[in-house]
Amino acid sequence: MEKLLYPAIVLSLIFVSCSSKETVSVTGITLHHSLTTRAADDSFTLNATVSPLDATNKTLTWLSTDETVAIVSNGLVITKIPGSAKIVVSTVDGAFIDTTFFDCCLWT
């Protein structure tokens, strides 16, 4: 019986050591932006940094508060018509949020 038990214990330890990966939770997010006024029919990319840098789930959700003025997808903002909008980015893990406001004007 002892001979059969030993390989099972070794296999169990190998499985546990290979499958146990420490999860690192998100503790914050910072949205990097510099321009507050953009032309209509323009595009620009917003970048966000998730903290800590080794967080396990860095998935972000992006949204525009007024999609008639601007739309956003994965940080790429496309301005459409003059107006004001707020771009919001949030983490899936922990629901941390950062925002930026900008105005969209007619000038190009």
Mean pLDDT, residues 35-61 taken together: 93
pLDDT at 10 (0 to 100): 46
In the chain, what percentage of residues exceed pLDDT 90? 69
Q: Where are the domains of the chain?
A: 24-105
DSSP-assigned letters across all residues of 50-105: EESTT-S---EEEEES-TTTEEEETTEEEE-SSEEEEEEEEETTT--EEEEEEEEE
Residue 62 pLDDT > 50, yes or no?
A: yes
pLDDT at 14 (0 to 100): 47
pLDDT at 53 (0 to 100): 96
pLDDT at 6 (0 to 100): 52
Q: What is the pTM of this model?
A: 0.76
The topology under which CATH files domain 24-105 is: Immunoglobulin-like (2.60.40)
Average of per-residue pLDDT values in the chain: 85
